[in-house]
Amino acid sequence: MASPTYSISDLARELDITARAIRFYEEQGMLAPERRGLERIYHAKDLVALKLILRGKRIGFSLAECRELIELYDPASGNRKQLETFMQKITARREQLEQQLLDIEQMQLELDTAEERCRTALDETLSKQQAG
């Protein structure tokens, strides 16, 4: 039995993205649909690649990182190398987010300090104006 094929509009509808986005990923070398004249014919592998791109984007991966994961797609091996690499990237992304969270918390403390100093300075200015 032949694997299912998809038109660009089928994929766009299935994944709730635009055909333009799909063409962009094709231009980036991340998809290579079969061509029948001007018509693009996508296969299950392309659907998997698009799902991977969209998931990668949601969790903050770059297009280069998504491309690397797509290039490791190898169903014959159970995608072991792809999954191991994905896990490494997830770990790195989590560490990056944890550092960003610490940076944000530090910045909030600095904002609190600056705000308190401004309030104190304003109160002193108002007191001097009222006394004067």
Where residue 32 sits, what CATH number does that domain have? Answer: 1.10.1660.10
Count how many domains the chain has: 1
The pLDDT assigned to 73 comes to: 83
The pLDDT assigned to 76 comes to: 87
Q: Structure pTM?
A: 0.74
- CA angle, 85 as apex, 82 and 86 as ends, to 5°? 80
pLDDT tens digits along 81-107? 999 999 999 999 999 999 999 999 999
- Is residue 62 domain-resident? yes
The pLDDT assigned to 112 comes to: 97
- Is residue 93 domain-resident? no
The pLDDT assigned to 55 comes to: 94
Q: In whole angstroms, how far apart are CA 73 and each of 3, 85, 107?
A: 17, 11, 41
Whether 9 has a pLDDT exceeding 90, the answer reads yes
| Structural domain that includes position 53 | 5-71
Whether 1 has a pLDDT exceeding 70, the answer reads no
- Is residue 66 domain-resident? yes
Task: Assign 57 to helix, strand or coil.
Answer: helix
- Is residue 60 domain-resident? yes
Number of Cα atoms under 13 Å in the Cβ half of residue 59: 17
- Is residue 107 domain-resident? no
Identify the band that residue 131 occupies on the pLDDT scale cut at 50, 70 and 90. Answer: confident
pLDDT tens digits along 35-80? 999 899 999 989 999 999 999 999 999 999 999 998 898 888 898 9
Closest CA to 6 of 42, 45, 51, 48: 42
The pLDDT assigned to 105 comes to: 98
- Is residue 84 domain-resident? no
Instruction: Identify the DSSP state of 34.
Output: E
